A and B are shown apart, each in its own frame.
Chain A
Amino acid sequence: MSTSRQTEKVGDMDPGVRPDDAGNRPGSTVPASGTSDGAALSSQPIEPTSRKAKQGFRVTLEGLRAFYGSAEQVKGIDLEFKANEVTAIIGPSGCGKSTMVRCINRMHEEIPNARAEGRVMLEDLNVYDPSVDVVAVRRAIGMVFQKPNPFPTMSIYDNVAAGLRLTGRRRGDLRGKVEQALRGAGLWKEVAGRLDEPGAGLSGGQQQRLCIARSLAVDPEVILMDEPCSALDPIATLKIEELISELKESVTIVIVTHNMQQAARVADRTAFMLDGELVEVGPTNDVFTTPSDPRTEEYVTGKFG
């Protein structure tokens, strides 16, 4: 994973902030090693809207178990999320989809009495290793929630900049980074003229894209989406889905969804969960057309759930 890390940063970052950003994330335990072709890449013209040079991280769950108090909600899952792919997690309500996803960036443990066992590998790094800084993990693994949650006290601009300010990376071309993140989230054209207006004043779909822009600003390698469209109308949903397909060029995406059509539209691979266990995972088309497990077939054909 570390081979490409510096080169991709060099490609789309302001050269002035390169030393700070090239892997020296505060508290980060993700090692970064320079590569020989870094100089070659940096001499290329900088294209602010393109994030193609960047690579996502592969995420692997190994025997992941998650608990709320003594109740086991995720019961030992082994699952690989391939780099730069969209993996959809489907399954009936309460099957542990969200819990599993929240374990990946260690948000699960924010809930009182909640804990997780097993390993979540970010490339070669176990994010549950005691030496790992949870803050660094969350910078590498962004998250978009079910309900759009822009910071209500902040303008559109500040909402996106908050990602950078909150993570202590306010130096460099803040405005440029905000614009880049908003372009990345497909929101720039709609808000360019009113960056100072409150973020909460946008429509639901715009708010959700603002939240995506906010997580993009931190420049993560993985983005987790927990039913990102469940509060949105079909048109806003379509925009987010298009965005997801663009984003996977530069990040790995895990999306929890209740909407099987959505999974079919956006996901390269689909995993079906039931009762805290992984039933089946495979290329989306296979899972929907030729599922290997009868329970998957029952679910995707609408017999339950």
Chain B
Amino acid sequence: MSAPPTATDTLARFAVSPGRRRKDTLARAAIQMATVIALIPLLLIVYYLLKKGLSSWSTTFFTTDPTGNTFFKASSIGGIKSALLGTIEIVAVASAISVPLGIGVAIWLVEYGKNSWFAQTVRFFVDVLTGVPSIVFGLFIYIVLIVGTGSSYAGYKGSLALTLLMLPVVIRSAEVVLLLVPGGLREAALALGAPRWKVIFTIIVPTALPGMVTGVLLAVARAAGETAPLLFTAGATLKTNFNLSQFMNSLPVQIYSDITSPTPSVEQRAWGAALTLVVMILVLNLIARLASRRSRLA
């Protein structure tokens, strides 16, 4: 009926209108702005940590305990040895408990519990625990193991508080990765006539392992940086201490007590300790990334 469309008509039909072009530019600018704004505090944190922290790093900084002589010259205040070792020890114990336990729970949820009411209940409480503020875990251990038993702070109590903190993170992350293992692998192994436990340990867990390592390391990194659960469970101390039943120093608590000190050199030590902690966590995150890169799951 109508005349066939000319080339210009066709072009007009497919052209981007000026209004849409403007909206696109605006929206792009807004999103880029948001990214830049979000990056500013991150970069500032790293900048200040390096600027203030790096200058206090030295061999003696890592190899001496804090002395507590905070009103004398800077060289006498000591380093962060007890805090560094304490953090490693407390977190190691917490991981030794929470990782096998958490992975066990995740395996049960995925392979056995599935959608039963009990499994759903467990999932619900794990989700709730993930959102609980860390100080609540510290408070719980404080009430039960310190007030409840009438005893004092101890390294293992700090570990237990961190265990509670890590457990839901480990369970959730491991469960997510286990769910990613294709059902076809499970079926293939079961159809070969393999007992279920062998299917789990020789097929499912190895397939999910890189992802589980990532989740575990992120949980470890989170626990290593927590102050609140340790403040009134492991306490603070000066001496390096390998006895888990006594007061044990840790990096976050050391930072907390140093930063509240009126002595500038002690405050300076807090920066050095903070940088140490951030580097530790950064390394853990890098390992976690490397592990997830090796993952064979989508």
Q: Mark B170-197, 1 if CB is under 8 A from A, else 0.
A: 0000000000001011111111111100
Beta-carbon nearest neighbor of A113 in chain B: B115
Among B182, B186, B188, B193, which residue has its beta carbon within 8 angstroms of that of A211?
A: B188
Question: B264 contacts the other chain (Cβ, under 8 Å)?
Answer: no
Q: Mark B98-125, 1 if CB is under 8 A from A, else 0.
A: 0000000000000000110000000000
For window 201-237 of chain B, which residues contact chain A by CB distance below 8 Å?
202-203, 206-207, 209
Beta-carbon nearest neighbor of A159 in chain B: B188
Interface centre among A140, A151, A165, A168, by most B CB within 10 Å?
A151
B203: chain A residues within 8 A (beta carbon): 151, 153, 162, 166
B191 touches A107 (CB 8 A): yes
Interface size on B, residues (CB 8 A): 23
A135: chain B residues within 8 A (beta carbon): 193-195
Question: B51 contacts the other chain (Cβ, under 8 Å)?
Answer: no
A152 touches B190 (CB 8 A): no
Beta-carbon nearest neighbor of A166 in chain B: B194
Tell me how many residue pairs across A and B have CB atoms closer than 8 Å: 76
Nearest chain B CB to A114 CB, angstrom units: 12
Given known contacts A107-B187, A153-B296, A166-B198, is B192 in contact with A138 (CB within 8 Å)?
yes
Given known contacts A149-B182, A151-B203, is B192 in contact with A110 (CB within 8 Å)?
no
Nearest chain B CB to A265 CB, angstrom units: 25
Question: B199 contacts the other chain (Cβ, under 8 Å)?
Answer: yes
Q: How far is the CA of A105 from the CA of B193 in the complex (A)?
A: 9
Binding site for A on B (CB under 8 A): 114-115, 182, 184-195, 198-199, 202-203, 206-207, 209, 296
Among B184, B195, B202, B206, which residue has its beta carbon within 8 angstroms of that of A145?
A: B184
Given known contacts A151-B203, A153-B207, is B188 in contact with A145 (CB within 8 Å)?
yes
Interface size on A, residues (CB 8 A): 29
Question: A177 contacts the other chain (Cβ, under 8 Å)?
Answer: no
| Leading 10 A-B pairs by shortest Cβ distance | A139-B193, A166-B194, A143-B191, A138-B193, A149-B184, A152-B296, A153-B206, A149-B188, A163-B192, A167-B193
Question: A271 contacts the other chain (Cβ, under 8 Å)?
Answer: no
Given known contacts A112-B115, A149-B184, A151-B185, is B296 in contact with A162 (CB within 8 Å)?
no
Beta-carbon nearest neighbor of A147 in chain B: B184
A107 touches B192 (CB 8 A): no
Q: How far is the CA of A163 from the CA of B182 in the complex (A)?
A: 18
B114 touches A138 (CB 8 A): no
Q: Mark A92-120, 1 if CB is under 8 A from B, else 0.
A: 00000000000001010010100000000
Question: A142 contacts the other chain (Cβ, under 8 Å)?
Answer: yes
B191 touches A105 (CB 8 A): yes
A166 touches B192 (CB 8 A): yes
Nearest chain A CB to B182 CB, angstrom units: 7
Q: How far is the CA of A137 from the CA of B188 in the complex (A)?
A: 14
Given known contacts A162-B202, A166-B202, is B193 in contact with A151 (CB within 8 Å)?
no
Q: How far is the CA of A140 from the CA of B199 in the complex (A)?
A: 18
Question: A215 contacts the other chain (Cβ, under 8 Å)?
Answer: yes
B189 touches A166 (CB 8 A): yes
Question: A22 contacts the other chain (Cβ, under 8 Å)?
Answer: no
Q: How far is the CA of A47 from the CA of B203 in the complex (A)?
A: 32
A77: chain B residues within 8 A (beta carbon): none
A107 touches B193 (CB 8 A): no
B193 touches A162 (CB 8 A): no
Q: How far is the CA of A137 from the CA of B187 in the complex (A)?
A: 14
A143: chain B residues within 8 A (beta carbon): 187-188, 191
Q: How far is the CA of A149 from the CA of B190 in the complex (A)?
A: 12
Nearest chain A CB to B154 CB, angstrom units: 41
Nearest chain B CB to A125 CB, angstrom units: 15
Question: A65 contacts the other chain (Cβ, under 8 Å)?
Answer: no
Q: How far is the CA of A259 from the CA of B198 in the complex (A)?
A: 36
Can you name 18 A-B residue pairings with CB atoms under 8 Å?
A: A105-B191, A107-B191, A110-B190, A136-B193, A145-B187, A145-B188, A147-B184, A149-B182, A151-B188, A151-B189, A153-B207, A153-B209, A162-B202, A162-B203, A163-B192, A166-B203, A167-B193, A214-B192
For window 203-254 of chain A, which residues contact chain B by CB distance below 8 Å?
211, 214-215, 218
A167: chain B residues within 8 A (beta carbon): 192-194
A218 touches B188 (CB 8 A): no
B191 touches A215 (CB 8 A): yes
Q: Mark A38-72, 1 if CB is under 8 A from B, else 0.
A: 00000000000000000000000000000000000
